[in-house]
Amino acid sequence: MTAEIFSLDHQIVFYETDQTRQLTAGMLVNLFMLASQEQSNHLDLTAQKVQSMNLGWVVTQHLVTINRLPKLGEKVVIKTQAQNYNRFFCHRYFWLENQTGELLAKMHSVFVLIDQKKRKLTKVLPELVAPYGSVYTNKIEHLSEPKKPNIQPTYPAKTYRVRFMDLDGNHHVNNVHYFDWLIDAMPREFLLTHHLKAVNIRYKHEVYYGQLITSQVSVTDLGQQLISYHQILTQDLENCRAECHWEKMTTLIK
């Protein structure tokens, strides 16, 4: 049995792009999450229904691969499939294609169910995953852990206060907002001269309203390719760790 692939059409609008007129990394993940939410609505397994059971779906890891970020006005197709699950982890795949079926980006994500009151992991309920055609497995894929940044940061660390609009229905910072903290840790000159090609992001501890987070980064230059190693910290607690792969541009974005 194979899980159903759910598709959604979308056209990139200006507030999903940055000054390069390309979709931002955070918005790419928003579009993927939108497809999974639309599938949930379609199956009448809405976020509200899950919340009414005192549960919530939480992302623990995303593996993003980018061939090319779509441009302002471009028409795209977002696809998703709830692949498989074990006692605690659910694996879901996402694809972003253009209208001719060219793969622009993909993502492999791990979700867990949390008890909203205890803020603790709870066992996956088969009735919350079976409708997607997700398959139970004893041999779930293990995704690699992003490496820690060097003690010596490449760029000065930046701090951000969690804002009201960063929170989601789980009353913590939505997984997508971390992308802005990672990306903005890189200087503008870097962002205007490099393409983001891959992100491995691992969420470790929730971040709450009003907290101050620090976004740290160290960069390893491998010639044409560069790797940035990131940490999101609240004081000494590591809330999130990520690894981003970048490619030097041959032509500059205006």
Q: Of residues 3, 191, 198, 253, which one binds its own copies by CB under 8 A? A: 191
By CB under 8 A, which span of 81-89, 104-112, 132-140, 157-165 interacts with its own copies? 157-165
Nearer to its own copies (CB atom), residue 139 or residue 254: 254
Q: Is residue 119 a contact point for its own copies (CB under 8 A)?
A: no
Say how many residues touch its own copies, by CB under 8 A: 35
Selected binder of its own copies within 184, 206, 238, 247 (CB under 8 A):
184
209 binds its own copies, rule: CB under 8 A: yes
Q: Residue 63 or residue 183: which is nearer to its own copies going by CB?
A: 183
Q: How far apart are CA 217 and CA 49, in angstroms?
A: 39
Q: What is the DSSP letter of 16?
A: G
Shortest distance in whole angstroms from residue 71 CB to its own copies: 11
Q: Which is nearer to its own copies, 160 or 229 (CB)?
A: 160
SS3 label, residue 145: coil
Figure out which of the listed residues 4, 97, 180, 238 binds its own copies, where binding follows CB under 8 A: 180
Region from 105-113, 123-131, 146-154, 182-190 binding its own copies, contact rule CB under 8 A = 182-190
Query: Interface with its own copies by CB under 8 A: which residues?
Result: 13-15, 18-19, 21, 24, 26-27, 30, 33-34, 37, 41, 73, 158-161, 163-165, 167-169, 171, 176, 180, 183-184, 186, 188, 191, 209-210
